Structures are given as C-alpha cells and as structure tokens.
Amino acid sequence: MTLQYLLLFSCILIVHPFSLPSHQVKLGGGSTIHNKRCRPLRTSSHLPPKLEHLVQDTLDSDRKIVVVTGGVLSGIGKGVTASSMGVLFRAMGYRVTALKIDPYLNVDAGTMSPFEHGEVFVLDDGGETDLDLGNYERFLSVSLTKDSNLSTGKIYQSVIERERVGEYLGKTVQVVPHISDAIQEWILKVAQTPVSRFSKVANDNDDAKDEPPEVCIVELGGTLGDIESMPFVEALRQLQENLGYKNLCFAHVSLVPSLGDPAEQKTKPTQHSVKSMMQLGLRPDFLCCRGKEQLEPSTVSKLSLFTSVPKGAIVSLHDVSNIYRVPLMMIEQNVHSMLAQRLRLGPYEKGVDYSMVEDLTQIEESVVIKDWKKLADSVDEPESECVIGIVGKYIEQGDAYLSVVKALTHASIATKQRLRIEWIEASSLCKDDDGDDAENVSDETAWDRLKLCDGVVVPGGFGSRGMEGKIQTIQYLRENKVPFLGICLGMQATVIEYCRNVVGIKKAHSAEFFDDLVKDEEDAVIFMPEGDRTRLGGTMRLGVRETVLLEGSIARKMYGSEKVMERHRHRYEVNPALVSRLESAGLQFVGRNTDESGQRMEVCELSESTHPYFVASQYHPEFTSRPELPNPLFLGLLQTCKKTAAAKSKATVAN
C-alpha cells in the first residue's frame, strides 16, 4: 500500500508541478530540474525555435495575456467585454494591445458583404479587419495593426507558404503541431508588437510614441464548440501550458436568460457552455454572464457549484444605459483587482485566492476612470436631442455603419446632445433608381422622415443600388441648407450632384457604374490608375494618408491644423479634370493629397456664407473617432445641428 501511495504521489508531481516552487520541477525518479520558468508538459526543447524564443521573451518581459471566449450564441458581447477589461488595465497604468481571432476561412474581412458581416474596419496600415477592432481602438486608445486580426485563412496561408519554401524540412504538415504552433507564434508576436497610446490620426502628438504592450487581450470569435475554431482552442490550451498559469487567464462570456412570469434566471445554458469549454481543455477563470437583470445571489451560487468558478469571479454583465458603463460595472464587482491578483500584477497578495482579494489597485481615483465616469454620465444627461439621418444602402444590417454611429455618438456626447438615428434606405428615395433592385419605388414616408432630420450623413458603400437616391438626397440638403456630411461614396455622390445640377453636366456619373461616359466630361468619378480590376482582396487605396487642408476652410478650422492623417478605402476618385469647373461653380476642394499618382481630391465643401455645413471627404473620418476625442468632421456636423436647432427654436419663440 505504501508503494502505491508513493507511485501516485510521483504521478501527481509530474502532472501538477505548479504545486512546487516555481524554480523546481520534480520527476518520478526523485531528481529535480531547476528552471526559472516552469513549463509542465512541453519543455523548451520540444518547441520550435521561433515559438521558444517568443515564449521566452513573453516570460522575460512579464507580459500577460487575457483570452476572452464566448458560449451559447454569437454576438453575446465578447468584444465589449474584452474592450472593457482593456479599460481596466489602462486605468491600472498598463499598456494594452488586442487581437481578434476570427475562425472563418477568409484571409481578411475586405471581401465580405456588409449585409452578412457588418462593416469592414480599416486600420492605419491598411488592414481590413473585423468591426471588433474598432471597439478595441476606441476603448483602449491605441492604433492596432493588420496582424491584430487573425483568421483561419491567414494562418493556413502562412503555414502553407512555409511548407512551400521547405521550412518544415520534409515533415508531414499537420494541424497539430504546425497550425497550433503557428497560432501561438502569431498571438505572441502581436502581444509584443509596439502600439501607440493614441491613434496617430486622431491625435497628432509627438509624445504618442510606439511602446511595447504589457497586456494583450485575445478575443476568440464565434462560439466555443464550433468546428472551425478547434485549432485555435487547442493552440490556446497549449499556450497556457507554455506560458504558465500566472501569465494567461481565461474569461468566458455566456448567457443567463430570464424566462417565465415572474422571470427566473436560467443557468443551464451557461452550465453546458462551461462544460463544453472544459472538455476542450480550457477552464474559465472568470465567468461573465450576460442578461437583462443583475445576477441574483442564488444564481451566482448555482453557477459556481456547477462550473467550479469561484463566486467572486462570476461577473454580472447585465444591460445598462450605455456601453461606457460596462467598465464601471466591472469595477463595482472588483474585476480589476481580481485580474491583477490572478495575473500577479501590481501589489500581489501571496496566498490569497484571486476571487477573494480586496481592492488592490484603487483605480477609481485614476484619471482614466474619472474621465470614463464623466463620459458615461454625459451620455445619460444630454441638454437637447439631435436627429441625424443616415442615408445608405445597408440599412437592414445596423452593424454595417457601426463606426459612423459611434463617431456620431462621440460628437453628440461632446456637444451634450441625445443622438437619435433615423435610418433611411437610399433606394427608397428615388423611384427611378437605376440600381439592382427593380422593386424599389419612391417612398414618400422616407422623404418625410428625411425632412425631419437636423442633419444627414451619406456614408460609403459599393454598388449602384441607391445611388440616385443619395444624389437626390444631397441635392435636397444643399438647396435647403440642411447640415450634411458625405463620406467616401458620399463625397463622390456629392460631386456628381453638383456636376448635374449646378455645373450643368446632366449625364455626369461614376465610371464605377457606367463605362460609356464621355471622358473628362461626364465621368465625374474615375477609376484610380494604380487600381486592380481583377483581384478584389486588398487592392484598394487602403490605410492612412496625409491630407493638406486649405487655410480658411471649414475642415481646416475643425481640425485646427494644416495637415491631417486619415484612413482610406476606395478604388474610385474625383476626376481631377473637372475640378476647376466645379470650383468655379462654388464647390471648393479644400483638402488634397499628393502622392506618387498625382493630386487627389480628399475634402470638398461649400463656404459657410452659402451653406451652414456642407462637407464631404473621400477618406473615412469615422475610423479615427474616439469617445474622448471625436473626429472633427463629425463634431462640426453636430455643433452645426445644435446651433441651427437653437436658432430655429429662438425664431419660433419670437414669432
């Protein structure tokens, strides 16, 4: 019997070396391996050189990784949860970066339909990414890179390219270990890639230098158990083994629905979700539960019993008035201190379970959280209401214009207005719309709703459907002096409208939709000379570019500087041959870019003496807007709307 106990104890030491001091690993024969960093199952000799170097660098730098997963259903709020945790780390004084893993086979989001996937978020370096990266940049105040969005297509492409050049030395390339190792390498490379504290385009500040991150937040897209995410799950399991318990933790976001009358919180979906997670080799350290109401104590106790997650680490993420309250809700539940204790950050209390630790960090007194509280309060305490119409093609999918909505929200917060969005399908505004939907007819109720708006945004898009509706909308806004902001295709529609109705070129249109236009006369918008008509992915004019603004212009006044950096995503541009005629007729091109292909028109506007706010940009200003720093073009729109509404109200009272 004594021999059996000795053998059992030896096995326990091999499987669970974390029970020993971090510098010792006991083996069955009684020998001791002294190692500064403990890697229980895969020692450094078993790791490929690249991965071994990255693991060692992560350990030496004491860099931490937080993995956010989701269960029960997609769209549950993993992105907001991950971003909110990032705010907590920011408040603790740590530099934070983020990585979104999307298990789909697309190499990137650039060729995906907005109807299916929502908007494509563009980064400084031209990366076309998932919209969650927009949440990360807005919450973390960082400028991410295209490597911050990893897809199955990207990782398989990377491994196949390695195999083609003989990097695997004739070995059979398999999902494990080659794909799983490549995923770990990618995560660790992103975790060490320097990021700027503020976007280079949102804050033109020399002090915003690139610095290596101290914390990396990884969001695994989709739902745990999906077949396409299995290689990523296995890679994350191995990654925790390679980095060690104290350097990586898991937060699982799940649903706790309320059913019946009176409503009762149901825990079974989350129980099964965590069970599935544990079967895959992952164990949640934090359980973030979404629902309408705050978790009841009995619900927390039941979840803890069936999931083995400590009660203190079960976080209620119930519905709140605005998403900026989510980090504050986490602070109320001491998530910041538990994260610090779990990852051995800051004033670590030895021997105290992370779920039982008291407030270690005192981040409520930090500048970040004080500003965040002001931000959340200002959303709920506006001085007036502003109705902004969004006239677009992808109205059925609200996420298709997510960054536009966020930018409008940031500007409404800064101007202390309650924002109300009026969604208007562009094709419903013109009965003669020559797009691809023959059933569209002019909708008088759509025009009625448009005319009630305080201001209007015509955002970007692709395809001819709704183009005539956008052009007629812009004509109405120009003639009736309604504040207007056009973006990308919205600027191109602005130029076409002005050519037709002011300059007198009745057949003016875009070469994107018609190939028989009279050159340098009717082709108001042309294909860029360096573009690629055959290969769609990654061939547009992408990423951050410099724009020089004209002195005395509205745009120059709003930005407060001559040169600005903004992000682009387009294949077509305003025809330079028509610029002089347009400017002679009153449409001023006040923002231009000079690159290797010649001069490009970036911003056009009407003078303030002609129109209170009529501005359009070829670039996408929405991508650089931040809660604490609204993009100037959106801010100008909301300021003008408030000023115009106040003038109307004053005139009404006077009458």
Tell me the chain's radius of gyration from C-alpha atoms: 28
Q: What is the distance between the alpha carbons of residues 434 and 443, in angstroms, rounded to a whole number?
A: 15
Residue tagged 């309604």 (tokens): 482
Nearest to 593 by CA among 630, 625, 549: 549
Element (H, E) at 387: strand 384-392
- Which residues are part of the catalytic machinery? 488, 620, 622
β-sheet bridge partners, residue 580: none
Name residues whose C-beta falls within 8 Å of residue 352's C-beta, 6 or more positions apart in sequence. 341
Assign 3-state DSSP to the chain and report helix, strand, coil percentages, each to 5.
40, 20, 35
- The DSSP-derived string for 536-581 is -TT-SEEEEEEEEEPTT-HHHHHH-SSEEEEEEEESEEE-GGGHHH
Residue tagged 């969650």 (tokens): 132
For residue 262, is the peptide bond before it cis, meaning its omega torsion is within 30 degrees of 0? yes
- Whole-angstrom CA distances from 194 to 54, 145, 217, 225, 385 are 15, 10, 14, 33, 41
Dihedral sign for Cα 106, 111, 113, 114, please: positive
- The DSSP-derived string for 180-241 is HHHHHHHHHHHHHS-EESS-TTT---TT--EE--SEEEEEE-S-TT-GGGHHHHHHHHHHHH
List the strands of the sheet with 509-510, edge to edge. 509-510, 523-527, 572-574
Asked whether the beta carbons of 546 and 565 are under 8 A apart, the reply is yes
Helices 402-414 and 132-140 pack at an angle, to 10 degrees, of 30
Count of Cβ atoms closer than 10 Å to residue 395 Cβ = 17
Count of Cβ atoms closer than 10 Å to residue 207 Cβ = 8
Count of Cβ atoms closer than 10 Å to residue 575 Cβ = 23
Q: What is the distance between the alpha carbons of residues 248 and 489, in angstroms, rounded to a whole number?
A: 44
* Residue 218 backbone dihedrals phi, psi, to 5 degrees: -110, 125
Name residues whose C-beta falls within 8 Å of residue 105's C-beta, 6 or more positions apart in sequence. 151, 152, 153, 156, 228
